[in-house]
Amino acid sequence: MDSERIGGRSGKPFLVNCDRVASSACFHLKNWNSRKAEGLNGLSRRAVTGNRKRNQRKDTGNFAATLQGMRFTAIGTSGPFQGLEREIRFDTVKVLPQAIGAAYAALMDEQGRPRYPELAVVEDPMALIDIGYRTTDFTVFQIRPRLRVLEELSGTVAVGAHTVYNMVRAAFPEIPERDVESAVSRENIWINGRTLDLRREVAEVRKSVAKTIADEVKHRWSDRMGRIRVVFLAGGGAKLLQSELQTLHPDVRVVPEPQGANALGFWLMGRMAEIPKEPAGPPRLMVPQQA
């Protein structure tokens, strides 16, 4: 969830599209509310979301206050909520560092159980590289004794999946902009009566963009890099650059459903806050205090 999707003023329609917003998250919502015949009226009014801006408590507080003070209309555009229209407001709002959502999704499954039990109890730092469309955020965090972000080892690189597409299109300007993403994925495109083989150029571009990310990450982590236990890849560009970033660290893993990892992680946080922990149950990540 972000301010662009919510809209700037109370009463502006908010579209819930289950085909585009982490399809799994919409599936979870459907299951969560299966006992509620009224559909969207059954949604918890607890909001957990992220703020990309670092060290800006005032901005975070304003964002939370804006969300909590809003009333808006949720319109189901597909899936189980298609055609439903409900007024939504939030009783509570928690705004956390953006990367915490993806980190939570990387480490916990949909039932709140550790995906990797061997990582659930370690105090060593872990890292998450969120490769977005235009920028890449990298974050180092610890989960013990509490979940927290190590800001001094975190940062942003001004490249992303869009950089790959732009560089390929610069080499092949005849490729229409709307087709470049699929062309990169297939590594070829039929155009002007022939098939263009893009394998060499795509490989070179991926290597170049991945090197830009890796160089900045290594510079920021410096001698602390050897202490990082695992590196997770998230974001829409995670699978695009996965093979090129495997050499960054001995243990590189792609987050399940990387494109919607932040949304899924925030949903998990909200869900875990409402489900009592079983005394003999597996350890959970403690949700950090609001930034």
- Domains of the chain, residue spans: 1-115+256-291, 121-255
Q: Report the pLDDT value the prediction gives residue 7, as an integer from 0 to 100.
A: 31
Of the pLDDT bands very low, low, confident and very high (cuts 50, 70, 90), residue 290 is very low
Long-range contacts of the stretch 244-248 (C-beta < 8 A, 24+): 244/206, 244/207, 244/209, 244/210, 244/211, 245/129, 245/210, 245/213, 245/214, 248/214, 248/217, 248/218
Count of Cβ atoms closer than 10 Å to residue 8 Cβ: 9
Residue 113 pLDDT > 90, yes or no?
no
Token pair 């982490």 in the structure block, residue:
22
Whole-structure pTM value: 0.75
Highest mean pLDDT among 22-31, 33-42, 190-199: 190-199
Q: Report the pLDDT value the prediction gives residue 175, as an integer from 0 to 100.
A: 97
Of the pLDDT bands very low, low, confident and very high (cuts 50, 70, 90), residue 20 is very low
Q: Report the pLDDT value the prediction gives residue 240, as an integer from 0 to 100.
A: 97
For 98-134, letters b (16+ CB in 10 Å) and e give bbbbbbbbbbbebebebeeeebbeeeebbbbbbbbee
Superfamily of structural domain 121-255: ATPase, nucleotide binding domain (3.30.420.40)
- Is residue 270 within 8 A of residue 44, CB to CB? The reply is yes
Q: Report the pLDDT value the prediction gives residue 284, as an integer from 0 to 100.
A: 56
Of the pLDDT bands very low, low, confident and very high (cuts 50, 70, 90), residue 212 is very high
Residue 193 pLDDT > 50, yes or no?
yes
Residue 184 pLDDT > 80, yes or no?
yes
Residue 17 pLDDT > 80, yes or no?
no
**Choice among 1-10, 71-80, 105-114, 263-272 with the minimum mean pLDDT:** 1-10
Of the pLDDT bands very low, low, confident and very high (cuts 50, 70, 90), residue 91 is confident
Residue 55 pLDDT > 90, yes or no?
no
Residues 6+ apart with CB under 8 A from 10: 69, 70, 71, 72
Length in residues, the chain: 291
Higher per-residue pLDDT: 220 or 269: 220
Q: How are beta strands 92-97 and 46-51 bridged, if at all?
A: parallel
Q: Report the pLDDT value the prediction gives residue 133, as an integer from 0 to 100.
A: 94
Beta bridge partners of 277: none
Q: Report the pLDDT value the prediction gives residue 24, as an integer from 0 to 100.
A: 33
Mean pLDDT estimate for the chain: 79
As a whole number, mean pLDDT of residues 150-159 equals: 94
